Amino acid sequence: MINFFDLVKFRDFIVNKLNKEAVLEKEYISRTSLWRKFKPFFNYSPTPEDSAFLIPKNTSNVESKPWVLGIDGKWLRRNGVVMIYRDVTNNINLYWSFHLSESYKAVEKDFEKLNLIIKNNLPSGVITDWKGALISAVNMFLPPLPHQRCLAHVKRSLMRFLPLRSQSTATQQLRRIAKEITTIKNRKEKRLWKGKLYLWIKIYRHLLKEKTIGVGTKKKWWYTHGNVRRAINLLLFDEKHLFANLSYKFLPKTNNAIEGSNSQIKTKLSNHRGMKAPQQAIFIFWLLTFRRVKDRQDLKGLWDRLKNKICRF
């Protein structure tokens, strides 16, 4: 039968930088004994509701300051995605879930539960990576809000379209312009940046129309500089959402608050290689749960709420 002290050890296993070998050495037990001790925890997937009592009460205060909802997914290779919904202003993970894909149906199900958490204090803005399902869900479930497209994701895509070692002068020049998108701080800098972009388009417009005729291929023709066209389309697409942060100062321009969290998750998963996707998802759920724990009293409260559910296993 597991007890509270097993939860303390399990939290140490999940939260700290120790890998399995280090834990085995620290606890002086075999791999089999360690798995037997932690198996009940891996058989239970903690929900955001399980630890909701640990969220500071002021986050649900109707009169609290404006806050921004950040949404991003942590992919477990191609085996599914852990969706994280975070108050990026106050650095609090509000909700998380696991799905096989970022489909609209999956995101819609998340928003139905997320709305129960934030209904008394709706966000003042949203920042996402601009996936179609997220855009649709935000438009449907939340009132018209300023919606910032994460510029870190945009820049990452642009750098992929415009390779560093390209031999094309046009590509190199556009790459330098694209890299500046995350450095723009005000409307004046935005105007100067747009001037550079439109000058590039004026000079190299012919490249955007250039076509290659297919010979012995299924496609009759394609754009010769397809990736350059994709980069231009991305830079010109819906300027209102690319630079919403300039009009609404409380909006961040990147989703780094969640990106940083996802990077830490990746590091911790690498410390425990060998877990299959379902185990990785449960590991992440426990990690997000334990991040709400501030002290031993919180951990004891969490144990009191979960012990009956965990001990079933």
Q: Is residue 12, in this structure, part of any structural domain at all?
A: no
Q: Are residues 128 and 178 in the same domain?
A: no
Query: What's the pLDDT score for residue 256?
Result: 87
Residue 60 pLDDT greater than 90, yes or no: no
Q: Are residues 62 and 134 in the same domain?
A: yes
Q: Are residues 58 and 123 in the same domain?
A: yes
Q: What is the mean pLDDT of the chain?
A: 90
Q: Is residue 1, in this structure, part of any structural domain at all?
A: no
Q: Is residue 312, in this structure, part of any structural domain at all?
A: no
Show which of 202, 229, 247 is a domain's final residue. Answer: 247
DSSP label at 128?
E
How far is C-alpha 165 from the chain's CA centre? Answer: 29
Pair of tokens at residue 192: 């100067």
Show which of 98, 120, 147 is a domain's final residue. Answer: 147
φ/ψ of residue 231, rounded to 5: -65, -45
- Distance in angstroms (rounded) separating the CA atoms of residues 99 and 83: 8
pLDDT in tens, 84-100: 999 999 999 999 999 99
Q: Are residues 108 and 163 in the same domain?
A: no
Q: Is residue 162, in this structure, part of any structural domain at all?
A: yes
pLDDT in tens, 22-41: 655 555 566 666 677 889 99
Query: What's the pLDDT score for residue 61?
Result: 47
Provide the residue range defining the domain that includes 130. Answer: 54-147
Q: What pTM does this model have?
A: 0.89
Q: Is residue 31, in this structure, part of any structural domain at all?
A: no
Show which of 147, 179, 202 is a domain's final residue. Answer: 147
Q: Are residues 175 and 156 in the same domain?
A: yes
Query: What's the pLDDT score for residue 307?
Result: 93
Q: Is residue 26, in this structure, part of any structural domain at all?
A: no
Q: What is the DSSP string of 68-110?
A: EEEEEEEE-TTS-EEEEEEETTTTEEEEEEEESS--HHHHHHH
Q: Is residue 44, in this structure, part of any structural domain at all?
A: no
Q: Is residue 187, in this structure, part of any structural domain at all?
A: yes
The enclosing domain of 70 has a CATH number of 3.30.420.10
Query: What's the pLDDT score for residue 159?
Result: 97
pLDDT in tens, 154-183: 999 999 999 999 999 999 999 999 999 999
Distance spanning both ends of the chain, measured CA to CA = 10
- Characterize 50-81 residue by residue with b for buried, 16 or more Cβ atoms within 10 angstroms of its Cβ, and e for exposed: bbeebbeeebeeeeeeebbbbbbbbebeeebb
128-152 mean pLDDT: 93
Cα 93 to Cα 55, 70, 146: the distances in Å are: 9, 9, 20
* pLDDT classification of 2: cutoffs 50, 70, 90: confident
Where is average pLDDT lowest: 66-70, 183-187, 212-216? 212-216
φ/ψ of residue 274, rounded to 5: 105, -15
Q: Are residues 123 and 143 in the same domain?
A: yes
Q: Are residues 159 and 233 in the same domain?
A: yes
The count of domains in the chain is 2
Percent of the chain at pLDDT > 70 equals: 91
Residue 58 pLDDT greater than 60, yes or no: no
Q: Are residues 162 and 132 in the same domain?
A: no
114-135 mean pLDDT: 94
